[in-house]
Amino acid sequence: MTGDGTRCVHAGGSGDEPGEPTVAPPVLATQFHLGGADFYGRATNPTWSALESAIGELDGGHCVLYASGMAAISSLLRTVLDAGDTVVLPADGYYLTRAYVRDHLRDLVVREVSTSAEWTAELVAGARLVLLESPSNPGLDVCDIAEIARLAHAAGALVAVDNTTATPLGQRPLELGADIVVASDTKALSGHSDVVLGHLTAADPDLAARLRTERTASGAVPGPFEVWLAHRGMGTLDLRLARQADNAAALYQALRGHPRIRGLRWPGAAADPAHPIAKQQMRRFGGVVTFELESAEAADAFIAKARLVAAATSFGGLHSTADRRAQWGDPVPDGLVRFSCGCEDAADLVADVLAALR
């Protein structure tokens, strides 16, 4: 297998026919001459196919693109669950997933389990779907995907893993036994804070076909220009992740022991409680760090004072960003900050953060 950088640059390429562009342009047509693979813009598009091939290669399965990460998650839930089914959700994962199930899929039995829980057969008994998020967002806890997949499969459940924080280069859940990968490609995969996009990758081609059928019927389809932007951004994923992880490591070391910082988390640090499992199943540790300040006011003041850090939600972009997660409904302390390290020089970023903490 070629290296990560080579795969990111060449995955889903347009071929090498003489006279053809080296990078495929976006196909914006909504209708096509009948008789070929593409016929109507809500069902198929060659720009989708190119990025689905690329992400599928990185994930190790069959990729289906969606208009957003939540479109992907909701499509998965609608496709594999029936009324009365039990679904296991991460109690500490992305808050909107729980809200969607609570407010829009009321005929399900919901079991919420923390990522760092001691997973047993009882936690997954009777479930149809076990949805994990590892590392969790925003707490950055990690669970043993392979062991939970073993327990869930023994109980007859499918296992899906939200891999947004890790990315396909940081973690390959299908190789660990999961059935489905879900991700918001708005984050690091696209990487330039200019696209809203998501995907599911299934190990089973038949399940991927069912997901595509549901996507066509529900209309949760991405725009081809956004898909093209994401494919272009994915070409530098290897480079961006390397710089972001280096910055996260530098920031972690600078904040460790700081008198104002509590609850500092980054799975890449040997001292982090998630590190023993993370180092077994993750290939990279990413650029997201979390920590707590004294109060909501202290967190807001820190973010406002930082010169290189934008006050923004989302993560994985070129620019460092931070947000106070409790304002969105996450069940976390008021002063908890999710910090997304960008691609600035580490020395500049660390100096800026320390100055904002004074």
At 21 the pLDDT is: 84
What CA–CA distance (Å, rounded) separates 139 from 220? 29
Nearest Cα to 61, choosing from 202, 213, 231? 202
| The last residue of a domain, from among 181, 202, 234 | 234
- Asked if 141 and 128 sit in the same domain, the reply is yes
Domain that residue 250 falls in: 238-357
pLDDT digits (tens, 9 = 90+) for 255-296: 999 999 999 999 999 999 999 999 999 999 999 999 999 999
Nearest Cα to 159, choosing from 194, 195, 203? 203
pLDDT digits (tens, 9 = 90+) for 175-207: 999 999 999 999 999 999 999 999 999 999 999
- Do you find a cis peptide bond into 205, omega within 30 degrees of 0? no
- Asked if 78 and 191 sit in the same domain, the reply is yes
At 297 the pLDDT is: 98
- Asked if 249 and 344 sit in the same domain, the reply is yes
- Asked if 174 and 253 sit in the same domain, the reply is no
CA distances from 123 to 76, 110, 291, 293, 347 (A): 21, 11, 29, 33, 45
pTM, two decimals, is 0.97
pLDDT digits (tens, 9 = 90+) for 14-28: 777 898 888 888 999
- Asked if 217 and 244 sit in the same domain, the reply is no
**What confidence category does residue 13 fall into, taking pLDDT thresholds of 50, 70 and 90?**
confident
| Mean pLDDT (whole number) for 155-161 | 98
At 329 the pLDDT is: 85
Q: How many residues does the chain have?
A: 358
pLDDT digits (tens, 9 = 90+) for 87-114: 999 999 999 999 999 999 989 999 999 9
Residues above pLDDT 70, as percent of the chain = 100
Amino acid, single-letter form, for residue 88: V
Task: Give the H or E element holding residue 133.
Answer: strand 127-133
Using the predicted structure, report yes or no on whether residue 1 has a pLDDT greater than 80. no
- Mean pLDDT (the chain) is 97
| The last residue of a domain, from among 209, 234, 259 | 234
Residue 287 near residue 247, CB atoms below 8 Å: yes
At 350 the pLDDT is: 98
At 19 the pLDDT is: 85
What CA–CA distance (Å, rounded) separates 249 from 251? 6
At 270 the pLDDT is: 98
Q: Which residues pair with 110 in a beta bridge?
A: 87
Point out the least confidently predicted range of 6-15, 136-145, 185-194.
6-15
CATH number of the CATH domain containing 306: 3.90.1150.10
- Asked if 181 and 249 sit in the same domain, the reply is no
Number of structural domains found in the chain:
2
Nearest Cα to 144, choosing from 161, 127, 157? 161
- Asked if 159 and 247 sit in the same domain, the reply is no
CATH number of the CATH domain containing 42: 3.40.640.10
- Asked if 155 and 224 sit in the same domain, the reply is yes
Nearest Cα to 88, choosing from 140, 155, 138, 139? 155
- Asked if 318 and 176 sit in the same domain, the reply is no
- Asked if 182 and 215 sit in the same domain, the reply is yes
At 348 the pLDDT is: 98
- Asked if 163 and 180 sit in the same domain, the reply is yes
| The last residue of a domain, from among 204, 234, 264 | 234
Handedness of CA 10, 13, 18, 24 (dihedral sign): negative
At 271 the pLDDT is: 98
- Asked if 286 and 331 sit in the same domain, the reply is yes
pLDDT digits (tens, 9 = 90+) for 201-232: 999 999 999 999 999 999 999 999 999 999 99
What CA–CA distance (Å, rounded) separates 126 from 87? 9
pLDDT digits (tens, 9 = 90+) for 236-258: 999 999 999 999 999 999 999 99
